[in-house]
């Protein structure tokens, strides 16, 4: 069991880099103590004329302990507010041969308003809570390595912190795949939109280059992970 857990942990360090935040959906992927992940994204919005046309989005993930992670999500929305949403998550159970990772968390911990729009401003200040689970499945029978799937399932309360749209209320989740050690793919549902991604992780770099779709919108980004 110890060797299995160690191998899963090593594989998921690479896998998790591809989908800690696709772009904002909570998952049960959790950093280890003193790990840091920083990323920058660009969202190309398919919106009517006069509405925001793009978002510059940055994230910082910090593993405070093996069980506690603190995240900061900064959004600079064209023609709207700039905001920083804080996320605190606690791992309650770690993955084993028959059991999933399980994480509880809070989004928008400090009730940050994320829009100037008077109709939605009070909604975006709400705290959202979530619980998520994830389990890894190896596709080559008897071989604990790529290709593999990581299946995600979560449930939460309403979150209005991106584009003034309600997300993460009720069930959400999806599938994250590691096709080969450097290439991954993701399909997830955040309670409102389908999110897709393709990822490339240059060997021994700590980098992940990723991009895909977010509902009708498109996004691209790069992330860097390091153990401090």
Quick one: three-class SS letters along 191-218? CCCEEEEEEECCCCCCEEEEEEEECCEE
Q: Which of 31, 35, 59, 55 is nearest to 44 (CA)?
A: 55
Question: Where is 122: in which H helix or E strand?
Answer: helix 121-124
**Residue 172, CB half-sphere, CA atoms under 13 Å: how many?**
28
Q: Which segments of the chain have a pLDDT < 70?
A: 1-23, 142
pLDDT value of position 23: 62
For 2-227, CATH number out of 3.30.70.120, 1.20.1050.10, 2.40.160.40, 3.90.550.10 equals 2.40.160.40
pLDDT value of position 22: 58
pTM (two decimals)? 0.89
How far apart (Å, rounded) are the C-alpha atoms in residues 54 and 174?
A: 25
pLDDT value of position 227: 94
The DSSP symbol for 79 reads T
Q: Where are the domains of the chain?
A: 2-227
């Amino acid at each position: 069991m110890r060797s299995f857990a160690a191998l899963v942990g090593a594989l998921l360090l690479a896998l998790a880099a591809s989908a800690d935040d696709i772009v904002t959906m909570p998952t049960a992927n959790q950093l280890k103590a003193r790990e840091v992940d920083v990323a920058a994204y660009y969202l190309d919005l398919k919106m009517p004329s006069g509405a925001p046309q793009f978002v510059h989005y940055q994230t910082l993930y910090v593993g405070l302990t093996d069980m506690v992670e603190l995240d900061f999500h900064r959004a600079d929305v064209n023609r709207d507010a700039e905001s920083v949403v804080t996320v605190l998550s606690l791992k309650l159970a770690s993955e084993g041969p028959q059991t999933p990772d399980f994480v509880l968390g809070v989004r928008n911990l400090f009730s940050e308003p994320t829009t100037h729009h008077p109709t939605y401003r009070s909604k975006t200040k709400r705290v959202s809570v979530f619980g998520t689970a994830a389990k890894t499945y190896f596709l080559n029978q008897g071989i604990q390595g790529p290709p593999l799937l990581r299946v995600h399932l979560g449930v939460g309360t309403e979150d209005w912190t991106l584009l003034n749209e309600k997300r993460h209320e009720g069930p959400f989740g999806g599938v994250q795949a590691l096709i080969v050690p450097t290439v991954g793919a993701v399909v997830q549902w955040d309670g409102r939109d389908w999110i897709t991604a393709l990822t490339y992780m240059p060997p021994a770099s700590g980098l992940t280059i990723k991009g895909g779709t977010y509902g009708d919108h498109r996004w691209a980004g790069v992330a860097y992970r390091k153990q401090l």
